[in-house]
Amino acid sequence: MEQAPSIGATWARRYDRLHLHTMRQFSGLAHFPIPSRYPRYLSRDEVVAYLQEYAAHFNVNVTTATTVRTIRREDSGAEWVVDVDRGDAWRARVVVVSTGQYRRPFLPVWTGHEQFAGRLTHSVEYRNGAPYIGQRVLVVGAGNSGAEIATDLADSGAASVAISVRTPPPIVPRDPFGMPVQRTSILLSALPPAVSNAVGRLTARVTIGDLTRHGMPAAIFNPYTTRRVPLIDVGFVDALKRGRVTVRPAVARLSPTGVVFADGREEPFDAVIAATGFSTGLETLIDVGDGTPGELLDDERVPRGRAGEPTSQAGLFFVGFMHSLRGHLFEANLASRRLARHVARYLRQP
């Protein structure tokens, strides 16, 4: 079941510049690798084409343009009931939730946002830099989307581009020394985190250098400890070093003409793009009877436990919510295979 009108529509709505940071060889889904006619790093539209090809290859019956309102237990407890926005509710012994970590955009409510005369949007609405030509733009958030959008704006003719950084991210090149960082990360993930962090830190220092001289605060390089994906550089560092993108501190509030930063500095901007992340929205999607599925979700509203494995609620499974330095699609492939085994075992039970 898919909320969007077509397979891959969620990808199709992302910004034009988007490419996978993970290799074609390690980004295919289970039992149907990405064909070799695709490049090493697929573009947004190529990902959409592959997903549609995948569904056609297995003749997957996808019901599109259908929004799930609630997933709840039937009174008898034998089945799950999936309430949708049109038609009758669906019933099934097994429900797999794969709505992902990026279901609901999170837009901070900054003081003064109602008086800001410029354009305030979330990064999910960004497509390309054409509407921002000649404008002064602030991107809030230095994750992968924020860095790529800032770079795209600089390339597309914005008058000035700044990026607001609250927590400095560890930054790694996509292809250090000509080797894809994903391949290296798969190997490093098998080592003790302290060792992997040290190797990654040294690689970043040699290939990227000291970015503090360009305004980027020093980051704590510990992605193998936190299991958080670092900023994978595909042009941002060059834009930073050339002064085409400048760094600002965290946003304190908005003013009628711009932004006031945490250090008290005020600066005019025509547009603010908030690359401030997403939430899963699972706390309102799943109803296990007490209104708050605390045993299912952690404090970040991400499913507890390993993807594709049984949860505390029989017949309810999750895929696609993991944090991984080996690649989300790489992990989805493995998780879907685990899921198939566990679902088959569950359905064999009386």
Round to whole Å and give the CA distance between 13 and 103. Answer: 13
Average pLDDT, the chain: 94
- Cα angle 168, 172, 173; round to 5: 135
283-332: per-residue pLDDT in tens?
999 987 664 567 889 888 899 999 999 999 999 999 999 888 999 999 99
- The pLDDT tens digits of the residues spanning 152-198 come to 999 999 999 999 999 999 999 999 999 999 999 999 999 999 999 99
pLDDT band at 35 (very low <50, low <70, confident <90, very high): very high
Taking phi over 0 as left and psi of -120 to 50 as alpha, with beta for the rest, 312 belongs to alpha
CA 56, 60, 63, 68: dihedral to nearest 10 degrees?
-130
Q: Is the Cβ–Cβ distance between 203 and 233 less than 8 Å?
A: no
Question: Which pLDDT value is given to residue 76?
Answer: 76
Residue 206 pLDDT grade (very low, low, confident, very high; cuts 50, 70, 90): very high
pLDDT of residue 152: 98
**Amino acid 40: pLDDT:** 97
DSSP β-bridge partners for residue 267 = 259
Q: Which domains does the chain have, with CATH numbers?
A: 9-103+279-347 (3.50.50.60), 108-277 (3.50.50.60)
The pLDDT > 70 percentage for the chain reads 99
- What is the pTM for the complete model shown? 0.93
Query: Reduced to 3 states, what is the DSSP secondary structure of residue 2?
Result: coil
Q: What is the pLDDT of residue 34?
A: 98
